Every structure is written in C-alpha cells, then in structure tokens.
C-alpha cells in the first residue's frame, strides 16, 4: 500500500482526509513541523500532503528544509489551504508543488488528484532515470569509440583529438613515434593472432611506463605515439625509449618471437619542432625513418638537416658526408660505441684483415673475477674503467661496455710487445680513478689475425 505523509494540526481535517484516503493509502500523520521533517527523511513516502499554515514554521518552510536536506525532492507534495488566494497558489507552484487542494475537501476531487499526482510523478521519475541511463550509455559509447580495444590505449581519432587539446594545455611536450621492427615477419611466420598479441603487449608496456598525464595512442598497424607532457633531455629520451624497448623484447621473446622483433623510435619536441600536430607527426615519422635506415632497433631525436635531407637524386658530397657522420664524436681517447655497433665494427675489421696487411687485438677487461662486490661499488669501478679506457687509448681504438663487469676494447695496429704496455697504462689510470678501492682488474687478449677454431 502506498504511503502518504499528512502534515496538519487540525483534528477535523486529519479525520476527514483519513476517511477519504484511508481505504487506499497508509496515512502517517505529523502535527508539528519537526515530526514532519524527521518522518520525511526516515520514510520513503509516495506523497506529502502539507497544510500551508502550521504553528511555528509554515508548510513552505517545511518543504524548503526537506529539499535542502536531500539532493533532490524524491517525493511529490500537495499543499492544503483554507483560503482561495491566487498569490498563495502561485507560491505553492513556484516552490515545486504538484497542486493545491482547498478546504472544505471534496472526496472525489481529492481521490482523483492524489492518484493522478502519484502516478504522474512515478512516470516522470521513470523517464528521468531512462534519460540519465541513456546519457551515461551515450557517454560510455563515445568514450569507448576513442579507445583501441586491442591495446587498451587511445585509437587514432580519439588520441589525435586529445593530442591537439594537450598542445593548447601544455607549454612543452616530448613526442615519441614507435613501431615494431619486423612486425610483418611475426604475422607471416606466426599468424595474425601472434601479431595481435605483440601489439597488445606493447600497448600495455607503454601504459605501464608513462605518467598519468601522458598520452598513448595506437595510430594504426604497429605504429604508436607517446606524448610526454614535459621537455625531456636527450638522456631521458634515450632512457625511456630503451626501457620500453627492453621490456618489449623480453615480452616478445616470452611470446616466442625470439630475436625477431625490436622497437624503433623517432622523437620530436613541442614547440621546438612544430606548433601543430600534423607537423610534429610528419617530423617524428622522418626521425623514425632515419632509425630504420640505420639498422632499426634504436632511437633518434629529430634533426632538421639529417632527417630532411633527401636520400634520392644527386646530393653534394659534403652533404652526404654530413648525413652519414651526423654529430661527429670529436672527443679524445678510444671511440666508445654501443655493443651492437661494436659488433659491426669488429666484423668489418676481421674482414679487412683477411685481405689487407695490418693488425688488431681485442682486449676484454674484467672486474672482480674472484670477488663478491656490492652493486654500487661495481658501478663505481665500471665508471672508473670506462674513463681509464677512454683516457689511455687512441682515437683509432674502439671500446664498448659488454655487461656490468666487463669492458671490451679493439686496439688497432699495436705490436705484440706493446700490448702489455697499453694494458698497463689502462690499469694505472683505473687505479687512480678508483681511489683506493681494491677491486681486481684482469684482462684477456685475442689476436684478430688468429683463425677461429
């Protein structure tokens, strides 16, 4: 049975309304304002019948208190009055009443009015709930349409729209364009399901390694964009790209695509490299293309001359040299390179020495071969060894860090009787840089002219 709260202090009026409505509704009576307010908050009524004139505060004030105590007035109400006054009726409607019933009461009028108000209010609330639900559904559909469901990050349309907004919101930005090297080979060898696994894995890795305010987009295929909402130094650019690449390679190997897939990355900065998304995208793509031309599996920060110089048609010799050299390393000491570059140089030297006169020796320096060393101490020792190699050797020699405790050097045109002197020079400088730490440094020498067994 539906419940009605009757707020009135007149015994005769209360009895009259109970007689009219009592068979169809449960009537709860409140004769004073504080009881009315308490009951309205504690019980879910289907209708409030409130006398305009009450001792203490009037019916209008009771409604205002109830409205203020709830986010919404979730129950309809009708005012009761003994006066036929247009101004009072207008005030009743302005405060949100469903109507006004004047005394003396007409049974048929009250029954019809109460029934209609309760039914109409229920119908309106149902419509409002549907509208709210539809609005939430529409909003969810719109949001879902911006997400790439394979990777869990923004798709091209949703992501680029947000990227444009970010350009207006942030003063600086660093943009990474990444793709999976040899992605077609994964699809061709293992099937498109495997390709989807690789894309999904990379999307998750990217999401887990950027900040909340940063933006990740799958542009299409195996191409991804990361917008970091700050200016990153070249070192930080390299660190983030290598971190994602390392985790991606580990995951690809875990999925079974061992030694196939790596990550290439082109980078631009906003606003230095462009003020609009189209320009930033084009230049990031140019930077990525440069990585592809140089063997993939790397990161390159956009350089206007290097990346915009055409590689088609006739180009002057000086421009070709500049393009090949890039930012030439003019520092003294051994030429320090990444391990993958060292392997290429090593193989080239071996091929050269098979055909032409000359000699070269590879030296492997090892730290603490028979010692247990704390990580921080080992890092300090490796930094000292790296500096010693750079200072002790010539510009024509090549060096690389092999792992956390070994350093490899390719020494060009050195006589057998001089190799110990060269190594001794490295050891002395190493000990000076290490400043008293007793970490053993050992070495092995391989003659590049020797044939491999």
Domain spans, the chain: 3-135, 148-325, 335-447
Q: One fold for both 3-135 and 148-325? A: no
Closest by Cα among 230, 183, 180 to 203: 180
Architecture of domain 3-135 in this structure:
3-Layer(aba) Sandwich (3.40)
pLDDT of res. 368: 85
Whether the pLDDT of residue 195 is over 50: the answer is yes
Per-residue pLDDT at 452: 46
Helix (H, G, I), strand (E, B) or coil at 104: coil
Tracing tokens 């989807």 back to the chain, one arrives at 196
What is the residue-averaged pLDDT of the chain? 84
CATH fold group of domain 335-447? Alpha-Beta Plaits (3.30.70)
* pLDDT surpasses 70 at 24: yes
Q: Quick check: 453 pLDDT over 70?
A: no
Cβ atoms of 273 and 237 closer than 8 Å: no
Give the C-alpha distances (Å, rounded to integers) separating 249 from 220, 243, 288, 342. Answer: 20, 10, 18, 20
Task: Look at domain 148-325 and name its CATH class.
Answer: alpha beta
pLDDT at 149 (0 to 100): 83
pLDDT digits (tens, 9 = 90+) for 230-276: 999 999 999 999 999 999 999 999 988 877 899 999 999 999 998 89
What tens digit of pLDDT does each residue of 157-177 get? Answer: 889 989 999 998 999 999 999
Helix, coil or strand: residue 175: strand
Give the count of beta carbons closer than 10 Å to the beta carbon of residue 359: 14
| Mean pLDDT value of segment 107-128 | 83
């Amino acid at each position: 049975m539906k419940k009605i709260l009757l707020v009135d202090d007149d015994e005769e009026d209360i009895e009259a309304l109970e007689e009219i409505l009592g068979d169809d509704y449960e009537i709860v009576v409140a004769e004073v304002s504080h009881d009315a307010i308490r009951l309205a908050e504690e019980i879910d009524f289907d209708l409030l019948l409130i006398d305009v004139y009450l001792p203490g505060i009037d019916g209008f004030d009771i409604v205002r208190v109830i409205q203020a105590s709830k986010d919404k007035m979730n129950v309809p109400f009708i005012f009761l009055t003994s006066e036929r006054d247009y101004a009072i009726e207008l005030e009743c409607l302005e405060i949100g009443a469903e109507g006004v019933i004047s005394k003396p009461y007409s049974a048929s009028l009250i029954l019809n009015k109460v029934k209609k108000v309760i039914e109409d209010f229920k119908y309106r609330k149902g419509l409002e709930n549907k509208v709210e639900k539809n609005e939430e559904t529409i909003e969810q559909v719109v949001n879902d349409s911006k997400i790439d469901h394979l990777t869990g990050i923004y798709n091209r349309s949703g992501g680029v729209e947000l990227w444009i907004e970010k350009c207006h919101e942030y003063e600086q930005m660093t943009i990474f364009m990444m793709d999976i090297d040899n992605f077609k080979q994964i699809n061709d060898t293992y099937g498109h399901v495997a390709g989807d696994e690789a894309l999904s894995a990379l999307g998750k890795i990217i999401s887990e390694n950027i900040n909340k305010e940063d933006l990740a987009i799958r542009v299409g295929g195996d191409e991804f964009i990361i917008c970091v909402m700050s200016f990153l130094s070249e070192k930080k650019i390299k660190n983030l790209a290598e971190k994602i690449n390392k985790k991606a390679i580990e995951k690809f190997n875990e999925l079974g695509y061992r030694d196939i897939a790596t990550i290439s990355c082109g980078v631009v900065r906003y606003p230095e490299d462009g003020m609009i998304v189209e320009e930033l995208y084009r230049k990031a793509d140019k930077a990525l293309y440069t990585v592809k031309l140089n063997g993939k599996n790397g990161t390159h920060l956009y350089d206007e001359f290097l990346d915009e110089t055409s590689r088609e048609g006739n180009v002057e010799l000086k421009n070709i040299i500049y393009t090949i050299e890039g930012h030439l390393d003019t520092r003294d000491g051994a030429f320090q390179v990444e391990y993958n570059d060292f392997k290429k140089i090593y193989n080239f030297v071996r091929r050269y020495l098979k055909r032409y006169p000359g000699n070269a020796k590879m030296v492997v320096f090892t730290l603490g071969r028979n010692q247990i060393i704390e990580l921080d101490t080992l890092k300090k020792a490796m930094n000292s060894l790296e500096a010693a190699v750079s200072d002790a050797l010539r510009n024509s020699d090549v060096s690389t860090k092999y792992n956390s405790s070994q350093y490899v050097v390719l020494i060009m045109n050195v006589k057998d009787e001089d190799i110990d002197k060269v190594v001794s020079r490295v050891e002395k400088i190493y000990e000076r840089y290490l400043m008293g730490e007793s970490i053993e440094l050992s070495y092995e020498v391989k003659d590049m002219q020797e044939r491999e067994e």
